Amino acid sequence: MTAYARLTARFARIATVGEASSVLGWDAAAMMPPGGGAARGDQLAVLAGLAHGLLTAPETADDLAQAHAQTEAGDDEWDAANLALMRHAHTRATAVPADLVEAQARANSACEKVWRDARGRSDFAAVSPYLVEVVSLVRQTADAMAPALGLSPYDALMDGYQRGIAAADVAPVFARYEAFLRDALPRAEERQARQPLPVPLPGVFPADRQEGLCRHLSARAGLEAAHARLDRSAHPFCGGTPTDVRITTRYDEADPAQALMGVLHETGHALYERGLPAPHARQPVGEAAGMAAHESQSLIIEMQSCRSDPFLAWLGPELHGTFGGPAEPYAPANLSRLWRRVGRGFIRVEADEMTYPAHVILRFRLEQALVSGDLAVADLPGAWRDGMAALLGVTPPDDARGCLQDIHWYDGAFGYFPSYTLGAMAAAQLMAAARRDVADLDAGLGRGELGPLVGWLRLHVHSQGNRLGFNDLLRAATGKPLDPADFEAHLTARYLADGSAPQA
């Protein structure tokens, strides 16, 4: 075997260990009894240590030193990109001692379990010491990786979620959006106030009927039941592996929107995983192109497509047929006012697409301060309240609706949050390009057909794997790198346009 062939075999083993960890993580959120938490933490820590050991073994370094993409892998650009990604992964891993990797995994698991209970009781004090430990270990990890990668500590963390994007790239994009929001949000609220109030959907919406409709909508989008599960968890997510996708959601029997749109969102993630290039499975180049790219795929399905007027016109009768009652509340105009309502709320996952980026901007700034040490964990609740007041003019009444609402920090995920809004912006840019390339795309959405859009995404995004960086992926698909103007144009057309013309 050549050095490159040995590397591909080794990285396939590393990926398989990661798949096992992903399924165990899904089980912890969806199936595991509470008493299994400590053992699960040990299991995940051992698997993290095994993957780290495979990646940092002397044999890996020897083969990386010997491997040359042009001589051993030929002139294939996929193999060349794969080798470059292997080197990058090895640099990240060898910078962090194995005992720190396992300590981080254990601390994350312990903190996340305490957070689940603390959030329900709005008890930040209960989880605070665990978060102190997580943040301390995150800082140590970031400090270890930074010099090896030639990045700042926070950028080293961001690099783990979206390669090639740094805080200096994100900050001006977010500052531009903050200025846009200051003008656009009051205008959207004023326009909304002139419209009739939305009529709430009537009655009780049994969870089993919601689940059946969720499965139906996910299947219409193209997700095969033979390769996916839908279960329940406290925090909706998509996990598993490309051939064994695990989606979770939560049901509110007073309002089906959270589950329906949540499942469509996670279906976008799942379709991306299912569409990754099979010939490069379990190789770095065969993975998704980062979390911002992943978020673009969930949001182009949920926000760009399934909350559009054409799709809502199709969805209304489906909802009425499932839940019954009077038909009027299911009219497209009412659904659009109900499910595209702008509001200054406390909860990120319930935010509309115009105010959602403000929630991300807050977290981006706070987590930088936590990692740098400029913000102490004990001061996080107050800093959160001040930040929400400054960005959206609202102050959370308790920590459950403040700094306890998200799982990410309590599970050790720092540097992740920018991906959400970068993904929303990329989704708008990709949708604009798809509309240019795919004839009658919106007419298809009006028939509940997502296939033409998903087919375009398969070609331009999914099948590209991790061969290209975020901006290069967008440039290849749309003709330009990330351009926030497309997102602003989308919001302007949907929330600020005068007249009664349907808005996509």
Phi, then psi, of 237 in degrees rounded to 5: -160, 170
Phi, then psi, of 375 in degrees rounded to 5: -125, 125
Rounded distance, CA 325 to CA 205, Å?
11
- Written as six digits, the tokens of 237 are 């997510």
- Positive or negative: CA dihedral 429, 279, 160, 80: negative
Q: Token match 């981006």: residue?
A: 364
Of 202, 46, 179, 199, nearest to 109 (Cα)?
Answer: 46
Strand order in the sheet with 228-232: 228-232, 244-249, 237-241
Give the burial class of 367: count Cβ atoms within 10 A of its Cβ; 0-12 exposed, 13-18 middle, 19 or more buried. buried
- Positive or negative: CA dihedral 321, 323, 325, 330: negative
- Written as six digits, the tokens of 86 are 């292997």
The residues, ordered by sequence, that sit 6+ positions from 39 with a Cβ below 8 Å of its Cβ are none
C-alpha angle 331-337-492 in degrees, rounded to nearest 5:
125
Rounded distance, CA 303 to CA 308, Å?
7
Q: Token match 């938490």: residue?
A: 37
The residues, ordered by sequence, that sit 6+ positions from 304 with a Cβ below 8 Å of its Cβ are 427, 428, 431, 490, 504
> Torsion-angle region of residue 324: left (phi > 0), alpha (psi -120 to 50) or beta?
left
Q: What are the angstrom distances between the C-alpha of 204 and each of 199, 234, 251, 324, 336?
A: 15, 21, 12, 10, 20
- Written as six digits, the tokens of 501 are 């013309």
Active-site pick, 112, 266, 287, 295: 266
Active site residue 266: yes
Active-site positions read 266
